Amino acid sequence: MSVSLRVEGEEIRGEFEVLVPPGTLAARRDAMVDDVLMDPLYEAAKQLGVVLAADPHTYARQLNGRGEQGGTRFEVRARAEGGRLVPIRGGKLRARG
């Protein structure tokens, strides 16, 4: 599977797909994502002069729909912070009060 990552300032963004068979356990899916994402993510982190702060699957978020090859689509989002590449988590901002 092809992984397309781009460095934008202090962030890394991209998408990829993995053929995940129906009924695959989450731990196995995470291992599949790790296998596909490790080298491209490491190279992108190297461009920013940082090291990975977590396993590669933690930088990926599953997207709706299927990819061009029929695989499960994932989005990658990360940012350089204190010499490490950390995952960017999506979601709504919570009001503090």
pLDDT, tens only, 24-76 = 999 999 999 999 999 999 999 999 999 999 999 999 999 999 988 889 999 99
Task: Return d(Cα 94, Cα 81) in angstroms, integer.
Answer: 22
| Higher local confidence (pLDDT), 96 or 72 | 72
Q: How confident is the model at residue 91 (pLDDT cuts 50, 70, 90)?
A: low
pLDDT of residue 62: 93
Closest Cα partner for 30 from 72, 64, 58?
A: 58
pLDDT of residue 14: 95
Q: What's the chain's Rg over C-alpha atoms? A: 14
User: In the predicted model, what is the mean pLDDT of residues 73-92?
Assistant: 89
What is the residue extent of each domain of the chain?
Answer: 3-87
pLDDT of residue 1: 62
pLDDT of residue 89: 83
Output helix, strand, coil percentages for the chain, rounded to the nearest 5. 30, 40, 35
Task: Return d(Cα 17, Cα 21) in angstroms, integer.
Answer: 12
Asked if the model's pLDDT at residue 94 lies above 90, the reply is: no
